[in-house]
Structure 1
Amino acid sequence: MLIHHLRVLPLLVRMHVRSQMEYRGAFWLDRFAQILSYGSVFATIGILLARFDTLGGWSWPELALLFSFQLLAYSLGAAMSFVQLRDLEELVRLGTFDTLLVKPFSPWAYLIFSGLNIGYTGHVILAVALMGWAILSVDFAWSLWSVSFFMAALISATLVTGALITMIGATALIWVRSNHLFSIFFGCWELNRYPLNIFPGGIQITLITAVPLALTSSVPVGALLGKPIPILGDWAGPVALAAGPIWVLIAMSYWRYATGKYQGAGG
């Protein structure tokens, strides 16, 4: 059964990608618009730095590394989860989710891989380009250990992003409505474009625990660069690496709980 699933998943991905690439001109124009949109956000940060030199003790190249790390981790995690789990609310409301339950396939796997979103290509292009410049410009002595930590932290941050989005979407299986929670998610996500230490203590605690998006940005990047990390201190590095696997396990448990509570379209 597992081998059968592994054979089907690439077919689901290929079919969805081909449907998204049907109008290639429109697809790439939309990606260009994404690059301009996020580029303007980073330009705004640049304007702040031009006036104040540093922000919370972070220099311009360091903030560029923070911004690109956050954007890349989000893009990779959201490509595997956001649109699919956002649309889950509508599937539940219309009763369409019931059809996934009778398929000889994991409902979560079918939902995710049949809707893999390559629309995040623009995010990835901008993030990788900016990250390349930041890595070369930041005042930091790179080593094999630091590169390994950087890659592992990026994977962990990607997993945290996907896990949080999965949990928000899965809430629709219990409440029917859950998309309003994405407003909270993205509100907190935008805060994490900036160093954690510039925020009041209550927000710092929230961004590390309840909505742990700091673990996808300033915590791992700050730990790499040797920045002081509020609350976590010297534990920032290990926590950043462990966060991904831990939140994936939490999301898996929550998904099973939510599907167990699902009562179908008829209530």
Structure 2
Amino acid sequence: MQQAFRVIPFLVHLYVKSRMEYRSAFLLAIGAQFFSYACGFTSLWVMLLRFDTLGGWSWPQLALLFSFQLLTYSLGAATSFVQLRDIEEKVRLGTFDTLLVKPFSPWAYLVFSGLNIGYAGHIALAAGLMAWALTQVGVDWNFGTVAYLVAATISAAMVNAAIITMIGATAFIVVQSSHLYTIFFGVWELSRYPLNIFPAVLQWTLLTIVPLGFASYVPMAYLIGKDIAVLGSWGGPLSLLAGPVLVLLAMAHWRFAISKYQGAGG
């Protein structure tokens, strides 16, 4: 275990160094992502100029919801998405076998040898918009509020990373799991809006089957004192538990899925 912790910083350093070999392309990609999400935020702002609120949420409140969703997704996906998305190809080509003979956890090697610093643009935009929104929504700041925001951010990032990990690990069982990412991102797009604007079936879906509501709507509704659809006053505490619980489920799913892996020889 101690050896693994010593190797992790080295893996991260190697990956960052490799990405910086093509610095212009890296910066261009970050700029493109920043501009893309900025356009999405702007389109919502323009819509709110016309209709004032969406499901009882004003523009600053929705800006907080959008920015929190993007920030926590970026933090979670940086340690999971690209790395776990590529498992399908590694399984299909048989190159995952090489990780099984390393004196290191295959999951840790995948995650930290490909830590995605490309999400820096997402994080910068989300953090900036969130900082502004927090000054506009009238949060009663105290130690408890700050502690909740920090804990909710960590938990929400864990929710995203856990779901992505479970999708990636499914490739050990069915080989092709990329179609599940299409479903994930479809639901992720919905999770940037208040749950109360959706029918009951979608509300339950975002809190159970694909619980991305805990990575956006629930913690932010609790923070600014909104009534939380379905969960009510339980929403705040449950949003802090969602991340750790899903990580434990992801760990169990990873172990189960990798036990079903048959290797390149079938």
TM-score class normalised by the smaller sequence: over 0.9
Report the Cα offset of residue 139 of structure 1.
2.4
Structure 1, 55-64 or 136-145: larger mean CA deviation: 136-145
Aligned twin of 2:74 = 75
Comparing 228-237 and 164-173, the one that deviates more: 228-237
Mapped to 2, the partners of 1:198 and 1:46 lie a distance apart of: 17
Partner letter of residue 196 of structure 1? L
Alignment of 1:147-158 (within 5 A): 147-158=146-157
Residues of 2 paired with 1:125 and 1:11: CA distance?
25
**Aligned equivalent of 1:122:** 121
**Which residue does 1:110 correspond to in 2?**
109
Alignment-derived partner of residue 214 in structure 2? 215
* Residue in structure 2 matched with residue 31 of structure 1 by the alignment: 30
The reply on whether 1:233 has 2:237 as its aligned counterpart is no
CA distance in 2: counterparts of 1:141 and 1:9, whole angstroms:
39
State the Cα deviation string for residues 24-72 of structure 1 (Å, max 9, x = none).
Answer: 1221111111111000111111122111111111111111111110000
SS at match of 1:137: coil
How far is 1:142 from its partner? Answer: 1.8
Cα distance in 2, alignment partners of residues 238 and 132 from structure 1: 23
Give me the whole-angstrom Cα distance separating, in 1, the residues matched to 2:178 and 2:38: 27
Q: Which AA in structure 1 matches 2:152? A: A
* SS in structure 1 of the partner of residue 68 of structure 2: helix
Give the Cα–Cα distance (whole angstroms) in 1 for the partners of residues 20 and 199 of structure 2: 45
The one-letter amino acid paired with 1:97 is F
Residue 160 of structure 1: how far off its partner (Å): 0.6
User: Which segments of structure 1 move beyond 3 Å, counting only runs of 4 or more?
Assistant: none
* Residue in structure 2 matched with residue 195 of structure 1 by the alignment: 194
> Which residue identity lines up with residue 153 of structure 1 in the other structure?
A
Give SS of 1:231's match.
coil
Distance 2:164 2:74 in 1: 12
The residue aligned with 1:257 is 256
**Structure 1 partner of 2:60:** 61
Secondary structure in 2 aligned to 1:23?
helix
| CA shift digits 1:121-146 (9 cap, x unpaired) | 00001011101111112222222211
- The superposition leaves residues 194-253 of structure 1 with CA deviations (integer Å, 9 ceiling, x where unpaired) of 111100000000000000001000000001111111111110001100001000000000
* Amino acid across the alignment from 2:54: L
Inter-partner Cα distance in structure 2 for 1:225 and 1:134: 11
Tell me by how many angstroms 1:3 deviates. Answer: 1.0
TM-score (normalizing by structure 2) = 0.99
CA distance in 2, matches of 1:63, 1:250: 30
1:193 alignment partner, SS class:
coil
- Residue matched to 2:181: 182
Instruction: Provide structure 2 residue ranges, at least 5 long, that are not aligned to the other structure.
Output: none
Amino acid in the other structure paired with 1:161:
N
Partner of 1:134: 133
Q: Percent identity?
A: 63
What CA RMSD, in Å, does the superposition of the two structures yield over aligned residues? 0.7
* Secondary structure at 1:75 match in 2: helix
- 1:46 is matched with which residue? 45
What is the TM-score with the length of structure 1 in the denominator? 0.98
Helix, strand or coil: the match of 1:126? helix
SS in 1 for 2:21: coil
8 A Cα contact 2:139 2:223, kept in partner: no
* Alignment size in residue pairs: 266
CA distances 1:83-130 after superposition (whole Å, capped 9, x unpaired) = 000000000000000110111111101111111000000000101110
